[in-house]
Amino acid sequence: MICVRSPTLKMSNILDKIFADKQKELAGTKSNLPLAELKVRMGDQAPVRDVFKALNGGKSSKIIAEIKRRTPFKGELRENFNAGEIAGDYARNGAATLSILTESNHFGSHIGILQEVRPIAPIPLLRKDFIFDEYQVYESRAHGADLFLLIATWLEQNQLTDLLCLGKELGLPALVETHNEYDMEKAFEAKANLIGINNRDLTNGKTDLGIARRLIPMALQEPGNTLVCESGISGRQEIEEFEEIGAHAFLIGESLMTSENIPEKLKELLGNGESTNKS
């Protein structure tokens, strides 16, 4: 049984609030769709697509392109949001993997988007949500995800390790997201081999690319890890900088979601198009 961390009575930051709201929501979700039924649905899914193969090898940059309607920090990101159309643009224009926000209370999404996108994009799908319970791992697989997110900043060490192990038992890798040295040590202890370095502080929304500059060398001390640089990437120059110091892939959301032309922005980030970065 996985121990669930309890947030403080007075919410100290937005990350605690998101997880607290998710805990309340999950009780109803479990009632509406019991674990036994989830396990049956898992058997109906196509084989898991290999994210490690997608993010390693070849000369081209590897981008995990994100489908995200809104955030608690920036509000609505795109008018006339259509997940299917965005997924098609990403898949046709070089994305290696898709990140699908499925959180409802603060990001305006739902887990059904995974099934909507699955037939459109023949590449791995990351379920990006606030996962702390075994049920959510089974839920991710039952809805067609190929991997799921674990946020080391919020999860206790035993939770992180247990959820990562459960995913491996189901053939479902986890992207373990870190933001500081303590998080990285937790990822090492859990034996994660797909590690995200998030430049955004999820407790306040602030972004600092210095986080990746500091943590990538630390992450490389453990051989065999696949490193994903997350948040704050807006142009090709940043991708080239972080590839030079060891990043394997880049999870990019807002600069794509707010672009007037998603295909051209993605091509630019991959180094295949004209720059659209106005900075």
Each as own residue / partner, the long-range contacts of residues 11-15 (CB below 8 Å, 24 or more positions apart, any chain) are 12/203, 13/203, 13/204, 14/72, 14/73, 14/106, 14/202, 14/203, 14/204, 14/205, 15/151, 15/153, 15/154, 15/202, 15/203
Q: Examine the residue annotation and report whether 198 is marked as an active-site residue of this protein.
A: yes
Q: Is 85 part of the annotated catalytic residue set? A: no
Task: Check if 68 is active-site.
Answer: yes
Choosing from 139, 177, 254, 268, which is the catalytic residue?
177
Q: Is 272 a catalytic residue?
A: no
Find the catalytic residue in 109, 140, 231, 255: 231
Catalytic residue among 230, 238, 254, 268: 230
Token pair listed for 206? 């602030």
Q: Is 128 a catalytic residue?
A: yes
Q: Which of 128, 186, 234, 268 is catalytic?
A: 128
Give strand pairing partners of 176.
150, 195
Secondary structure of residue 80 in the 3-state scheme: coil
Active-site residue 185, yes or no?
no
Annotated catalytic residue, options 66, 139, 238, 268: 66
Catalytic residue among 68, 186, 265, 268: 68
Instruction: Establish whether 66 is a catalytic residue.
Output: yes
For residue 54, what are the contacts with CB-CB under 8 A and spacing of at least 6? Answer: 62, 96, 97, 123, 124
CA 169/CA 54 separation, integer angstroms = 21
Active-site residues, by number, are 66, 68, 128, 177, 198, 230-231
